[in-house]
Amino acid sequence: GKAEAELDSKKLGRRLVFFPVPLQGHINPVIQLANVFHSKGFSITIIHTEFNSLDQSKYPDFTFHLIPDGLLEHEVSTSDVTVLLAKLNINCANPLRQCLDRLLQDKGEPVACLITDTIWYFTQELADSFNLPRIAFRTTSICSFLAFYSLPIFRKLGYLPKQDSQLEVEVPEFPPLRVKDIPAIKSRDPENVFSLISCMMEKTKAASGLIFNSFEELEQQELTKVGEEFRIPTFAIGPLHKYFPASSSSLMEQDRSAICWLDKQAPKSVIYVSFGSIAEMDETQLSEVAWGIANSLQPFLWVVRPGLVQNSSGLENLLPNGFLEAVNGRGYIVNWAPQQEVLAHPAVGAFWTHSGWNSTLESICEGVPMICSPFFGDQLVNSRFANDVWKIGLRLEEGLKKGEIERAIKRLMDEKESEEIRMRVSSYKEKINACVKEGGSSHQSVQSFIDYILSI
């Protein structure tokens, strides 16, 4: 119809090739980015791995190539995520080379560039060998990217490995971080974490450009700093889910009964609780979370993902004794929720999150204030910035402890006590609405990126 004709007239005759990191928090922004560029007239090819492969039938406009990832059955786990990513960086090199080789010999539209996650450091050399520009895509915040970039300095200064007695100490080289906020990732191979990050930074510097799923009004200073340090064209074009919803690329089925339950709740009365797709906790922590929620006396929607507690045998055995009686029908628990819609629902008053970047952006977009419980990596930095810099969330400073949880929920759900936080998050919401519109900062960055890519 008309829309197709419009798109036809926009066709640029150029193809963009994407290779997402096969984790939910990375797949979502890649699919959104691909959709943005498709709407601007590019043809899209997505190369994906067998692990967390995408459902091609959901994206009839894109061309897909599946490559083997060489993971053995026992290696398919996100429990030690840096070990998994390091392995994939090695295993995918040959299959991706073969795939690109075939693709570039195709008679179809010429490929303008390869767009890959900064985590895929191996793709830089590969792109160079094909004389293909590679654009690095960082799916998380700019502030956390800079903190990762500073890891070698943090190590040299003696902040790492973190000492229990130092956790609350401020890091003057990177305000407002405290030692506990340094983006460490637990791994059975700590050296592997450093080498992954340093390869990632080195290869990003060699890339032809760098895209962030963030926006200038939130991270202006950090964007300038990255430009100075990396000296490659840098673009902040988020929040990407403002253009295309995250639900389309959900790897797990979203339980829509959550929305029906929300429909029956009073405006701004519900605390939504979710810790994303890979965070894990033990049974003691789960019990603290449960009692914190119960004791707050607030209605809640809680996502308890399979695998949130490792080796757990179902929800019934996980919930502490007496919990269901205590909450007395005041809450609803699902495996996986339609998160973006949940956050947009009028009944939701606050979001208790692990501060994953997609969750953080989705929450800001709907003007929902947060309680922040970071587990690892970028989440530590995101939650410090949410609390201290953007002042749109309350970071739980004691870890997962029912007393602090209860106090934070009560404080955030209380209209008076949370007034300032709510005002600030609403003001960012407005800024986002403006930045993705014609003339707005992110909208303009998309156009600058397109001009740039067509010029190289």
Residues engaged in binding ligand UDX (CB under 6 A):
23-26, 28, 139-140, 246, 250, 254, 274, 276-279, 303, 336-337, 339-340, 356-359, 362, 377-379
Side chain identity at 293, as an amino acid letter? I
Q: Quote the tokens at residue 175.
A: 């305000």
Residue nearest to ligand UDX (CB): 25
**What gap in Å lies between CA 273 and CA 148, rounded to an integer?**
27
**What gap in Å lies between CA 11 and CA 153, rounded to an integer?**
46
Cβ of residue 334: shortest distance to ligand UDX, in angstroms?
7
Cβ of residue 354: shortest distance to ligand UDX, in angstroms?
6
Residue 25 CA to chain centroid, in angstroms? 4
Cα–Cα distance list, 6 to 2, 173, 245 (Å) = 6, 51, 22
Cβ of residue 219: shortest distance to ligand UDX, in angstroms?
14
3-class secondary structure for the chain?
CHHHHHHHHHCCCCEEEEECCCCHHHHHHHHHHHHHHHHCCCEEEEEEECCCCCCHHHCCCCEEEEECCCCCHHHCCCCCHHHHHHHHHHHCHHHHHHHHHHHHHCCCCCEEEEEEECCCCHHHHHHHHCCCCEEEEECCCHHHHHHHHCHHHHHHCCCCCCCHHHCCCECCCCCCCEHHHCCCCCCCCHHHHHHHHHHHHHHHHCCCEEEECCCHHHHHHHHHHHHHHHCCCEEECCCHHHCCCHHHHCCCCCCCHHHHHHHCCCCCCEEEEECCCCCCECHHHHHHHHHHHHHHCCCEEEECCCCCECCCCCHHHHCCCCHHHHHCCCEEEECCCCHHHHHHCCCEEEEEECCCHHHHHHHHHCCCCEEECCCCCHHHHHHHHHHHHCCCEEECCCCCCHHHHHHHHHHHHCCCCCHHHHHHHHHHHHHHHHHCCCCCHHHHHHHHHHHHHHHC
**What gap in Å lies between CA 352 and CA 333, rounded to an integer?**
14
Per the CB < 8 A criterion, the answer to whether 214 and 238 are in contact is: yes
Q: Which is nearer to ligand UDX, 95 or 377 (CB)?
A: 377
Q: Which is nearer to ligand UDX, 361 or 453 (CB)?
A: 361
Cβ of residue 378: shortest distance to ligand UDX, in angstroms?
5
Q: Which is nearer to ligand UDX, 276 or 393 (CB)?
A: 276
Cβ of residue 339: shortest distance to ligand UDX, in angstroms?
3
Cβ of residue 250: shortest distance to ligand UDX, in angstroms?
5
Q: Quote the tokens at residue 61.
A: 């406009």
Cβ of residue 100: shortest distance to ligand UDX, in angstroms?
25
Q: Which is nearer to ligand UDX, 130 or 376 (CB)?
A: 376
Q: Which is nearer to ligand UDX, 260 or 456 (CB)?
A: 260
Q: Which residues pair with 350 in a beta bridge?
A: 271
State phi, psi for 265 to the nearest 5 degrees: -100, 155
Q: Which is nearer to ligand UDX, 23 or 446 (CB)?
A: 23
Q: Which is nearer to ligand UDX, 362 or 406 (CB)?
A: 362
Cβ of residue 290: shortest distance to ligand UDX, in angstroms?
17
Q: Which is nearer to ligand UDX, 139 or 265 (CB)?
A: 139
Q: Which is nearer to ligand UDX, 29 or 349 (CB)?
A: 29
Cβ of residue 96: shortest distance to ligand UDX, in angstroms?
21
Q: Which is nearer to ligand UDX, 112 or 236 (CB)?
A: 236
Q: Which is nearer to ligand UDX, 11 or 256 (CB)?
A: 256
Cβ of residue 392: shortest distance to ligand UDX, in angstroms?
15
**What gap in Å lies between CA 78 and CA 25, rounded to an integer?**
12
Cβ of residue 303: shortest distance to ligand UDX, in angstroms?
4
Q: Which is nearer to ligand UDX, 258 or 446 (CB)?
A: 258
